[in-house]
Chains A and B, each alone.
Chain A
């Protein structure tokens, strides 16, 4: 594994996992002795199905408690966008308001903040609509700005565009890049190599719950440090 510190400027928010291990029914599903996300990102987590991408993301976010090891980060504000957006059975605006209230934003500020974000996502006209009647792309946009409205230092995304069409995917990617340029540390799972190239500054490649390699995006795609990753890029089945 190469040290990314030499090549990338140090971001404000770093994240590291030490001795991370997670089991399901006695089987080790994630085993990461050391993973340092020191660069400014976005970091893309790649790997075949069953490599432990989603589990790793949940462990990093703290949704799952590891059987061993710990996550260290100075970031106190974190948010996550899920593969299938989980929208409350309320209006679009009420979804925003709920997240802001949970984040401790005062009632006086919530409405304006929510409307600003809805406007940015092109959803201002649908503020009063039932959130779950939005289209798939709109739902994921709402889930994304609901996460961003709480001003997270780290934003985790778990294949947020896997069920979206290209134009909806493009909208989400633009919003992710904008958030990254405003200083939000992005850690994103994807199985879309093109997306990893478009968005990622560095790639973490997982295989069988282990980090096979962690490199800057351009060198990863040119000369991956791991044979499994090289095979994956060629289109081999990583058995």
Chain B
């Protein structure tokens, strides 16, 4: 218990003093996960919306598959990306293994199904309300996708933040493809795993605290966006 208390005091000290190493790790984590979520959103939102408004044979199978992919195990994604990017792999020539780019790729794969599935569900609900009116206005099926995405913008913020929450908190994929190299690919989660096993609880606790604060901030942001949307009847 003595250990824990002193580690915790030390951890708070690291945060409050603005420890350079600590903040470099936080900055890299944010850079990797934010980039990954932005890329994933650019892919997943149009894809989810297109799936929401089109009807074809086997569509239900695709929807079930997409929902299932939300639960992709991060370590397995990490392994797949590792195999693709390793020297023996098909993309080995790119020399991306153990770089932040490799971590971004892994997180994009992890997050895209989450954002796409939430987008599909959101847009399908909105389309049920809008479809006849938009047809009546002469809006074509392809032209209505941007309309639906824009009008669902508040609801889609939730999808974005859910994706971010997943990316910033996962450890399995980034540790495999990033390699947890000091000052290069060391993120909050991988550092916590490493430092805990080394017994350096102070740094691990400091990062853990920041990670929890981030999680709370993300949830608060989701709620605030939701409240704002309801207040102007756009929810």
Chain A positions within 8 Å of B, measured between CB atoms, are 58, 61, 63, 78-80, 82, 86, 88-90, 98-99, 102-103, 130, 132-133, 150
How far is A79 from B152 in the complex, measured between Cα atoms in Å? 24
Q: Of B17-25, B26-34, B64-72, B126-134, which binds chain A?
A: B126-134
- Is there an interface contact between A102 and B151, defined as CB atoms closer than 8 Å? no
Known A61-B136, A63-B135; judge A86-B130 contact (CB<8 A).
yes
Offer 12 A-B interface pairs, CB within 8 angstroms, sorted by A.
A58-B132, A80-B136, A82-B133, A88-B130, A89-B154, A90-B151, A102-B139, A103-B137, A103-B138, A132-B232, A132-B233, A133-B233
B200: chain A residues at CB < 8 Å are: none
Chain B positions within 8 Å of A, measured between CB atoms, are 129-130, 132-133, 135-139, 147, 151-154, 232-234
- Is there an interface contact between B136 and A79, defined as CB atoms closer than 8 Å? yes
Closest to B132 in A: A63
B130: chain A residues at CB < 8 Å are: 86, 88
- Is there an interface contact between A86 and B234, defined as CB atoms closer than 8 Å? no
B233: chain A residues at CB < 8 Å are: 89, 130, 132-133
Known A88-B147, A88-B151, A89-B234; judge A102-B137 contact (CB<8 A).
yes
Q: Say how far B150's CB is from chain A's closest CB, in angstroms.
A: 8
Q: Say how far A96's CB is from chain B's closest CB, in angstroms.
A: 12
A99: chain B residues at CB < 8 Å are: 137
- Is there an interface contact between B232 and A130, defined as CB atoms closer than 8 Å? yes
- Is there an interface contact between B232 and A82, defined as CB atoms closer than 8 Å? no
Closest to A88 in B: B151
How far is A63 from B131 in the complex, measured between Cα atoms in Å? 10
- Is there an interface contact between A133 and B151, defined as CB atoms closer than 8 Å? no
Q: Say how far B127's CB is from chain A's closest CB, in angstroms.
A: 11
Majority SS at the chain A contact face: mixed
- Is there an interface contact between B232 and A133, defined as CB atoms closer than 8 Å? yes
Q: Say how far B218's CB is from chain A's closest CB, in angstroms.
A: 23
Closest to B235 in A: A89
- Is there an interface contact between B138 and A102, defined as CB atoms closer than 8 Å? yes
How far is A98 from B144 in the complex, measured between Cα atoms in Å? 11
- Is there an interface contact between A89 and B139, defined as CB atoms closer than 8 Å? no
How far is A130 from B232 in the complex, measured between Cα atoms in Å? 6
- Is there an interface contact between B234 and A132, defined as CB atoms closer than 8 Å? yes
How far is A99 from B134 in the complex, measured between Cα atoms in Å? 9
Most A CB contacts (10 A, CB to CB) among B132, B133, B136, B233 go to: B136
> Which 9 pairs across A and B sit closest by C-beta, in order of nearness?
A132-B233, A86-B133, A130-B232, A89-B234, A80-B136, A89-B151, A102-B137, A133-B233, A102-B139
B135: chain A residues at CB < 8 Å are: 63
How far is A63 from B139 in the complex, measured between Cα atoms in Å? 12
A78: chain B residues at CB < 8 Å are: 136
Q: Say how far A171's CB is from chain B's closest CB, in angstroms.
A: 21
Closest to A132 in B: B233
Q: Say how far B235's CB is from chain A's closest CB, in angstroms.
A: 9
A79: chain B residues at CB < 8 Å are: 136-137
Q: Add 16 more A-B contacts to A80-B136, A103-B138, A133-B232 (CB < 8 A).
A: A61-B136, A63-B136, A78-B136, A79-B136, A79-B137, A80-B133, A82-B132, A89-B152, A89-B153, A89-B154, A90-B151, A98-B137, A130-B232, A132-B232, A132-B234, A133-B233
Q: Say how far B134's CB is from chain A's closest CB, in angstroms.
A: 8
How far is A177 from B149 in the complex, measured between Cα atoms in Å? 36
How far is A82 from B132 in the complex, measured between Cα atoms in Å? 9
How far is A98 from B138 in the complex, measured between Cα atoms in Å? 11
